Amino acid sequence: MLIVVALRWIEALTSGLGAADECALEHALRLAEQLDAQTLAVTAGPEPAEAVLRTALAAGIGDALRVDLTEDETDDGSRVARALADAIPAPDLVLCGDHSADRGTGATPAFLAAALNARQALGALSVAWDGKLLVERRLDGGRRERLAVGLPAVCSVEPADVRLRRASLPGLLAARKASITVHKALSTPDIRVIVESTRRFSPRTRRVPPPEGAEPHTRLLALTGALAEHDPPRLVHPADAKAGAAELLAYLRQHGYLE
């Protein structure tokens, strides 16, 4: 069995892997130990992206592969998924983090499952093996569901209770000198969707009027709204989706969002 962990490289992130990727890496290591499986860590990006692969090697992953993409190309989840699928040699299980630390959409695992023609289980809280792959997911209302997932499969995991093990000193030293295979990504674009340009997320600036009052205390009260009247919170239990939508629209009209 081949277990692949797909890790997200972020140029601006200097503290190592994101929490979700660390969780996916630890799940991959635990399953590999239980099943005596081969392991492979992959990432997409330029040469600096090999830092996340060396982290995986130090933790105990058997081999590493970097798909050579530019930083701009790694912002396109569909492009990354097709490049990874072309580079990975028929995996039985692929584990990914369900979201990245750079406000990514989290769509890459679903794209990857489609590219590999594999089953998918996204947003998992835990991944275990008991004769078959068992995945636990979070549902609304504090409920959980447990799925039996056939192989091959792609699973994305939430950063839940699993923490990445501490790498040993021999592992760290060996990871620094380890040879990492580089795969040249296919240059054929996906003509169904053309990405014209990408940019970093930047929240829109909101213009706020200055507080009224001559005294600092008065201006502070105006800024905090401590003396302003607020609508008391109320808990609404609509009978169905239609009633819930009507309640939401009424609230938006009341506060001037809709006319």
The string of DSSP letters for 70-127 reads: -TTGGG-HHHHHHHHHHHS-S-SEEEEESS-TT---S-HHHHHHHHHT-EEEEEEEEE
Mean pLDDT (the chain) is: 84
**Cα 213 off chain centre by:** 47
Residue 88 and residue 63 in contact, taking contact as beta carbons nearer than 8 Å: no
| Mean pLDDT along residues 63-79 | 85
Cα separation, 19 vs 9, whole angstroms: 13
Model pLDDT for residues 161-217, shown as the tens digit of each residue: 888 889 899 988 999 988 898 888 776 555 666 667 777 777 778 777 788 888 888
Cα separation values, 42 from 39, 49, 51, 81, 166, Å: 10, 10, 11, 11, 20
Residue 252 half-sphere exposure toward CB, CA atoms < 13 A: 9
Name residue 162's amino acid.
V
- The reported pLDDT for the residue numbered 102 is 59
Cα separation, 97 vs 5, whole angstroms: 9
**Beta strand ranges found along 169-245 (DSSP E):** 181-184
Cα separation, 198 vs 18, whole angstroms: 22
| Mean pLDDT along residues 118-141 | 89
- The reported pLDDT for the residue numbered 28 is 93
**Cα 242 off chain centre by:** 32
- The reported pLDDT for the residue numbered 208 is 74
